[in-house]
Amino acid sequence: MLIDTHCHLDFPEFDKDRDEVIARARSEGIEYIINIGSSIDGSKRSLELSKQYDFIFSAVGIHPHEADNFDKGAELELSSLSRQDKVVAIGETGLDYFRNYSRQENQKILFLSLIKLAKELNLPLVIHSRQAQADTLKILKEAMPVKALVHCFSGDKGFLDECLTLGFFISFTCNITYKKAENLRNLIRDVPLDRLLLETDAPFLSPEGLRGKRNEPANVKHVAREISRIKEISIDEVSEVTSDNAKSFFNLVNTEKSSVGVGFIRPEK
């Protein structure tokens, strides 16, 4: 059983066959899905999905790309959304100096606001950091203690080491299967197994062989397979350890006594 810790099933790319995609994920052994909000509306749609499916949980957040539109109203709305059931993280949030779709100054304001919210609710953060290592670290270090996951890791060895020292978790997507991703595969060798999580970032980043097509949670098995090859351990071990990591990071608690088979306990304040 695998956990896809980062996907965007609320995106319009899934409008035609969302239920089929989710059913396929289940039939291919996906135990839980964490659907990540990247806007207010996206976070709302994500919460709808997690109400509909007991194995889908939500993160509530606004992507740094959207930072120019962030205002007091959005801040209040996010704060209220993040208090709903089955919200297990704040994100995605962070800095993107690669695309710079929003002003860097506004990205920082949004990032700080979401860090504050996460700390208030004692929820972990899902971090997006692209070509913004120095500022990401500076902001997170000043905010410590925080519990964070650096998603779709794309930094260098120095950034990785600092993140690991701060106790952060690291997740990789299907892009580790790309022919040119030797640098990422080398970094995976340096991430201890007990800090690794798996994700697809669907609909983006389909695995090698399926590139150009829409990605989906069932493809998280490609990430597990590649990591098992790189770390020279069995896929079963990768699945078991990364699923345990995800359950503890997002505080997903499997209470077999619960009537639906899955229980969720909000972390203590």
Contacts with Ni ion by CB under 5 A lie at 201
| Residue placing its CB nearer to Ni ion in the complex, 18 or 266 | 18
| Residue placing its CB nearer to Ni ion in the complex, 37 or 123 | 37
Minimum CB–partner distance for residue 107 and Ni ion (Å): 15
Residue 14 Cα distances to 94, 140, 204, angstroms: 25, 33, 12
Minimum CB–partner distance for residue 194 and Ni ion (Å): 23
What sign results for the dihedral spanned by CA atoms 15, 18, 21, 22? positive
Minimum CB–partner distance for residue 172 and Ni ion (Å): 13
DSSP 191: S
Minimum CB–partner distance for residue 136 and Ni ion (Å): 15
| Residue placing its CB nearer to Ni ion in the complex, 4 or 201 | 201
Burial 204-230 (b: 16+ CB within 10 A, else e): bbbbeeeeeeebbbbbbbbbbebbbeb
| Residue placing its CB nearer to Ni ion in the complex, 215 or 243 | 215
**Pair 246, 240: CB distance under 8 Å:** no
| Residue placing its CB nearer to Ni ion in the complex, 210 or 236 | 210
| Residue placing its CB nearer to Ni ion in the complex, 38 or 243 | 38
Distance of alpha carbon 175 from the chain centroid: 15
Tell me the C-alpha distance between 198 and 152, whole Å.
9
Minimum CB–partner distance for residue 265 and Ni ion (Å): 26
Minimum CB–partner distance for residue 151 and Ni ion (Å): 6
**Pair 16, 232: CB distance under 8 Å:** no
Question: Which residues fall within 8 angstroms of residue 13, CB to CB, at 6 or more apart?
Answer: 203, 214
